[in-house]
Each structure stands twice: as structure tokens, then as C-alpha cells.
Structure 1
Amino acid sequence: MLGATGQIGRAAVRALVEDGWEVTAASRRGGRDERWPAEVRSVAVDRTEEGALATALGGGTDVLVDVVAFDAAHGRQLTGLAERIGSAVVISSAAVYQDAQGRNFDTQDEPDGFPDYPLPVPETLGTVAPGDSSYSTRKVALERELLAAAGRLPATLLRAAAVHGPYSPGPRELWFVKRALDGRPVRILAEGGRSVFHPVHVDNLAELVRLAAAQPGTRVLNAADPQAPSVAEIGAAIDAAMGVSSETVLFDGAPGKDMVGYTPWTTPRPMVCDMAAAERELGYRPVTGYAESLPGTIEYLAAAVAERDWREAFPGLVKYGVDFFDYAAEDAWLAAR
């Protein structure tokens, strides 16, 4: 497995071992997760080094799980080693989709640029054009490379929704968890709290990896939880899991210039993935629901910010360019109402 010590990789290794696979966990530093059994072999592999992946593969592998493939070059790297790989399971992203007007996640900051997706989104919906201009276009380019090599390398591409669970570098749940830890009594939500950005827990994603590894084939499948809760529902579930009671203040429309009411889920239109194909083709059944999965996430997040600033602990949240915990701005907004 490539990317074994990341958020998705840690869970996928455990799922594969439990299913009887002999797993070699590859990462740049060759680290381990403390929950892996001793039989998991850890190796250091930097795929950017010439010949490093080929050397690590040795005589070959039945399945290569690639959690950290991001572009066409990575796709060509895998197909170039097809004779040593029985099949592949590769993580893609639900961010590849575009709506009938060509709107997608790359246009979301433009006026009326957020996509109006069908509900739920099937795998047959069109995608952005492949390229190297953005995360979405690079993921499509990766997919195209692997799909074109179907005769040589069977590959399951899992279009992951908003991944959540322990070890995330950019955990959306922190927006609510930190407020509870700080004793913040109010949560202000734009868009009426109705925003929906379909999540997928790492254990559900790992279950899809496990099923795809056991059933080689060339396919593209969505990867999402059984529920697609609104941001207001997420807040209520986290508060309940943490045993706190807070007031939720809702307002319609987008956040203003002060970004009060903005969360990592905030969108003007919902994004919900159709899981029928995974159920039909792999026999997929989720192993956890959103609310049921929260205690482990909350425990991890609380420990991570106990002695560190949230920006240091979770640089993946910094990319939004927003101070998610600007309580002074929230207080000023409330006072002005």
C-alpha cells in the first residue's frame, strides 16, 4: 500500500489485514500505526525517486492500493509497472464532478459558480476535463490514465467524498469540536444550516478498499457514508457526542465579508453521492454511520489541540484562508443583530 501512514492508509491497512491479506505498508518514512498487528511489514518508499516503487514491488504484488496518487504521472507510473501488479485500488475524489452547466468545485468562488448537482450524484455524471491546473483536473487525468489501461491493469477508482475520522490533516469536525472544548455557547451557521457536503468515514472507505481488493476489475465508484447530514445536523450530533448544549443561530444566504457563519461544509447547494453502484458491484455495506463514528474523531481532535494551536495541529484547515475560531467577529455579529 502506498500512503499507508496517512488518514486513509491507516484504516485500509487494518481492514486488509483483518481480511487475511499480507500487507506491506509503504510511506515516505516507513512509519507504522500503533494499531497495526506485528505482521504488517513497513517500508520507506519515495515514489518520486527513480525506480523506488519498482524496487519496492520486487517480483510483484497481487494488489496495489494507492492512497496518494494525484495526477497523470502517477497513473503512468502504475500502468508502467502493470506486469508486476495484479490489480490496483486507487483513491480518487468526488471533486471531479461537474454539473450540466460545467460548474464544479473549481468554479465555486465565481458568481453563481457552485455546481447544481443531481441528487444523488451517480458515477455517470460528467467530470471536469483532465489537466494539471487543479486538484480536480489532476484527479481526472489520473483516472483517465488508469481506465485507458484496463486491459493491462484492472483498477478500481474510489471517488471519495469528504473524508472524516482520526488522523485527518484538515478535519472539518474541529469547527464544532473546538467550540465545545472552548465552552463557546453559540454556533452561527450561514445558508440556514442546510449545507450538505456528503462525508465518508475512513472505516467506510477502508471497507470499499477491502472489497475492491478481493474483486479485481476496472470501475469507478463513489465512496460515501450511508447518511449525508446537513451542517446543522452535524453540529447537533457533535454536541450530543460531547455532552454539551449550545444555541444554533441560523441565517439564510452566504457568509458576509467577516465570514461569520462559514464552516468547512458551507455550500449553497448540496453535494450527495449515489452509493448504489458500490452496493451492486462490490456488495458494499457501510461499517459505521456518521454519528456512530464521532467518539473516535472527537477523542483524536481533542488530544491534538490540547497543547497546540489549531493551525499548527491541522495545516489542512489553514488552506481555507479563514480564521474558523474568530469569536470576536461572532460576538460583534451577534451584538449587531
Structure 2
Amino acid sequence: MSTKRAVVLGGTGGIGSAVVRELLDSSGRGGDDWSIEVLARRGGDVADSLTAAGATFTAGDRRDTQVLRDLLRPGADLLVDTVGATRDDAAQLLPYLGDIGSTVFLSSKAVYVDEQGRHANSVDKPVFPGAVTEIQPTVTPADDDPTSRDGYGAAKVAAEQLLLDHGAPVTVLRPSKVHGPGIGRPREWFVVRRALDGRDRVLLADHGRGVDHTTAASGIGSLVRLVAGAPDRRILNVADETALTALEIVRTVAAHLDHRFDEVLLDADAPAFVGLTPWSSPTPVVLDTTAARALGWEPPRYADAVRPELDWLVEDRAPHARRRRRAVGVRPVLGPDVRLRPRGRRPRHALPGDMTMPRSEVLFIGGRSGVGKSTAADALHELLAARDVRHAVIEGDTLDLAHPAPHVEHPEARLAERNLAAIWANYRALGFHRLVYTNTVSVLEADRLAAAMGDDPAVVAVLLRAGDERTAQRLGRRVGGAPPATQVAHSARTAGRLDSAAPNRVTRVDTDDLAPADVARRLASLTGWLPD
């Protein structure tokens, strides 16, 4: 028995942490022991738990050349890249592949196309004649925007090919609809939330017959462990033992929570957007995992593998959701003709309570005066609109813009939060679930603002930064001349306070050398709103 070194890029995410835990769990069980280096942008509970279990954690950006050099120059028996997305990302790894025993690159089933060139992110979904094997045609590799519908798969294929063409033993894994503890956007929350809210009914489009194969993060972990001991150049699909229907998934999750729904199975006459689930698909999408099984890998059963994620959701998210619902004491009003109603009833203009509305998602954009928050939000709005991504934009400064200032004269009223609650309720009633919110200090008040939205939104907070000279230029364009020195000085003081007070979970984006469109693409990448 020997000790081997593994490096996991993105090791605190849902997939990366599953890989780390699998390797740690396998150590000392008659096989090799693993010394594991975990790289992620920031620490937190997951990083703490992994280090407590025996891993070593490094905080840093996977795209930072120096960080990669320090981690990979000593060589490794196993490298797992869970976050690489582009040809440039892959190129950063090439100098080190010769000193790595086995490299694993996480790709996606979104690379596959049908005979018409349609892929998982296409507006019109692909139609495959049967289970998809690794020789199924893919999108054409390209260096397009990886956050766009067409660019995501193309960028992944470009990265795959560059790594495979190197000649070193690289295994590309293509999962589908990944589930597991710590997954950024857990699809099972669709069911868990409804069960915890005590909803009696669930609406399912197409009688719940949609099939879109799922992949357990734990299954990816066990396959990574196998390929670490059998290095080769190859592509492997990775998915659960059986591709369940949306109805079977809903029943599986509900059963684990000891909840029973009245299943309303909708037919083709139902409105197109009603009853959709994260697993709805007009035609079945099933991955063939024969090649992975030939290595001795045993794909997990969904019903078994999903349990840790469901327990995590109940323990981690459910209490948080209840706290947020209680955090804002004022109930939102949907408009002059819609009255506040008792719990369990809905206003006449709201969407049906059992409709498959996705969980809210919010992007908070903060930063000093003159940094370009509104301009970035406008550019992001144009980018999302061009991709037909439903979203709303709210300028937070206008929510309590009055004289005397309500936040000074009546701070107890929390008027900005109350107005946000009312406005967001109106947007939700019309089917919106993504919000772009700008305000100087929003990154410091993200928890309170998210609580005001009232439905446990998934939060991404971004602090835009710029130097004093560039900020003064932008302020000058705003006023049509040189800005007052006091305004620039106040902006500089605010910048320092924001940067020091914003928590580590807030992403910093330096905008000095970026055009608004570049900032918008970065924001879109951070939210994940454009890929599947």
C-alpha cells in the first residue's frame, strides 16, 4: 500500500467534494492511501469538513496561473478538474499533464447533438433514437462564450479535444443532471420545497413521463477512483443505474420525506409552461454507461444515491427558508386590485400555487458610486434578453428614494425591503424567478434583501471595483464635466469600506479594463443563468 497524491480543482463544490470524500473513504481499505489537495475560490463549511477528514485546502482561483503552478508542478497521481470550461482552461493544464498519472476532466452531456444539430441547451430539444453513447456526434468545438446556450457545449468540446490530443492519460466524464449534497442548484429542491410547505398537489406535464437521465455526484466519485487506478485516454458517460421518469423522481423524493402528493398528470392540452419539472423532456434523454461499467464501475440507484442530498436540503435549506419567510414582517401587496389573503389561498392574478415555478434566483450587484453598476445591469439585461432568459431588473436606489430619506427618518420601517417584497411578489405572480438587483451596499445587505424576497432565493453577490482614476472618468461622463472632488473622495471611502466589509462569498470583479459587455458576460457566468 502506498500514499498517492491527488489534486481536485473545484473541490468544495457538489461534484468535487464527492470525489474528495470517495478518495478519503477508500484510503486504508486495502488499497492506496490518498493525500488530497483541494482548490476552491474560498473556504467555508465544506472546506472545513474536508480538511477535518484529512484533505488539504488551498484558497485560490482555478484560472490563476501561479496557483496552478504551485499545485501541479510537484506532479500528482491524480488530477480532477471539475470547473474547467474552455480551451484556455484546458491549455493551462497542458504543461503539467506529463507528470500526472491520471487526469479527469468533467464535461457534460450537453455536448451531444442529434441529427438536426440540436443539443441540451437548444431552444428546440434534441431527439435521440436511443441511449446516447460516447460516439454520438457533438457540437463543433469553438471558443464561444461558455455562458451562452450554444457556447457552453462548444467550449466544453474544445477543452476535451485539447486535453485528449495531448497524448497523456486523460479521462473525460460526461454526466447529466447531477445531484448530491452541495450541488449549486439542486433540482430536487423542486420537490422538497413543496413537501416541506405541505402542498397537497403537484402538477406534472405530459403525465410525468419526461425522462432526462440523472447522475449522482457520489457515482462520479466512485468512477474517478476507478479511473485513477486505470489511466487511459477515453471518454465515459456517467449516470445513475436507471433513467427515471419525472413522476418516478417526484415519488421517490416525496417518499423519502414521508409525503404524498395528489398527482395532477397533465396532458397536451395544458398550457405549455405548467407542470414542467427539472427532469421534463419532450423525448427521452438516456446516457449509455456500458463503457464505464466495463471498468468494473457500478452506477448507483437514484433512490439510494439521492438520500444524502435530500437530508442536506432538509437540514440546511429548510430552516433557512423558514427564517427568511419570518424575517420581513410586512406582507407583500400585489397591486390595488389584489388583497392580502390568508395562507393557502392565492390572489386572482398569481400563478397557481402548485405550478412548477422554479426557485427564485437573485444577483446582487454592489460597488462604489461611478463603478458602473447600472451600466453593467443594463448590459446584462441585453445579454439575457438576447438569449430569451426571463428576468427582472430593479434599481435598489429607487426603492426608498424620497425626502426626507426614509432610511434616516424612519429606519424601523425598512421601506426598501418592504418595497422589494411587494415588487418581487408582483414579478413572481407573472412567472419571473430571476432578479438582477443593483445598489451600492447590496453586497453587505444580501441576507436581509434576500429575506425580503420571501422565498429563499439562490443568491449570487458581486462587488464591482474600479480605481479612482477610472471612477472619476465615469463620474465625469455622468455629470458632463469634472466631478466634484468631494464626490470622488466619498466614492473612494465607500470602495474601501465595501471591500473590507463584504464577506468572502462576495465575488470581486475589477472593471477598469472591461467594457460593459465584458462585465455582463462575467456576471452571467457567475449566475449560471445561460447554460442548461
Do the two structures share a fold, i.e. TM-score over 0.5?
yes
Tell whether 2:303 aligns with 1:291.
Answer: yes
Residue 162 of structure 2 corresponds to 145
Q: CA RMSD in A?
A: 2.6
1:230–1:95 Cα change, 3 Å? same
Q: Which residue of 1 aligns with 2:289?
A: 275
Indicate whether 1:94 and 2:105 are aligned.
Answer: no
Contact residue 5 and residue 33 of structure 1 kept, 8 A: no
267 and 253 in structure 1: CA distance in 2 versus 1, 3 angstrom threshold? farther
Q: Equivalent residue for 2:129?
A: 118
Matches within 5 A, 1:1-337: 1-19=8-26, 20-30=33-43, 32-34=47-49, 37-107=52-122, 109=123, 113-131=124-142, 132-133=144-145, 134-150=151-167, 153-253=168-268, 256=271, 259-280=273-294, 282-286=295-299, 288-302=300-314, 303-308=316-321, 311=360, 321=390
How many angstroms does 1:83 deviate by?
A: 3.2
* Equivalent-residue separation in structure 2 for 1:274 and 1:142 (angstroms): 22
Helix, strand or coil for the counterpart of 1:62? strand
Q: Could you tell me how far apart the structure 1 residues matched to 2:219 and 2:51 are?
A: 18
Match of 1:333 in 2: none
Cα separation, partners in 2 of 1:212 and 1:103, compared to 1, 3 Å? same
Q: Report how far residue 327 of structure 1 moved.
A: 10
Which residue of 2 is the match for residue 335 of structure 1? none
- Name the SS for the 1:51 alignment partner: helix
Q: Which runs of 5+ in 2 are unaligned?
A: 1-7, 27-32, 146-150, 325-358, 365-383, 392-423, 432-532
Relative to structure 1, the CA distance from residue 328 to residue 321 in structure 2 (aligned partners, 3 Å threshold; closer, same or farther) is closer
Counterpart CA distance in 2 for 1:33 and 1:8 is 16
Contact 1:226–1:289 (Cα < 8 Å) also in 2: yes
Say if 2:51 and 2:57, in contact at 8 Å, map to a contact too.
no
Question: Share of identical aligned residues, percent?
Answer: 38
Once the two structures are TM-superposed, the CA of residue 64 in structure 1 deviates from its matched residue by 0.8
The alpha-carbon distance between structure 1 residues 314 and 295, as it changes in their structure 2 partners (threshold 3 A), is: farther
Secondary structure of 2:248 counterpart? helix
CA 1:276–1:167 in 2, change beyond 3 Å: closer, same or farther? Answer: same
Equivalent-residue separation in structure 2 for 1:140 and 1:176 (angstroms): 33
> Counterpart amino acid of 1:262?
L
Instruction: Report 1 or 2 for greater relative contact order, CA contacts < 8 Å, sequence distance ≥ 6.
Output: 1
Structure 1's 137 and 253: CA in aligned 2 closer, same or farther, altered over 3 A? farther
Counterparts of 1:45 and 1:71 in 2: how far apart (Å)?
A: 18
Q: Where is the helix percentage greater, Structure 1 or Structure 2?
A: 2
1:118 Cα deviation from its structure 2 partner:
2.9
Aligned equivalents of 2:267, 2:428: Cα separation in 1: 20
Question: CA 1:142 to 1:242, structure 2 compared with 1: closer, same or farther past 3 Å?
Answer: same
Q: 1:312 to 1:180 in 2, by over 3 A?
A: same
For the pair shown, the structure with the greater C-alpha radius of gyration is 2
Question: Cα gap change, 1:329/1:55 in structure 2, threshold over 3 Å: closer, same or farther?
Answer: closer
**How many aligned positions are there?**
316
What code does the residue aligned with 1:224 have? A
Query: Residue 10 of structure 1 contacts residue 33 of structure 1 at CA under 8 Å; is this kept in 2?
Result: no
TM-score of the two chains, using structure 1 as the length reference? 0.86
Q: What's the offset of the Cα at 1:39? A: 2.7
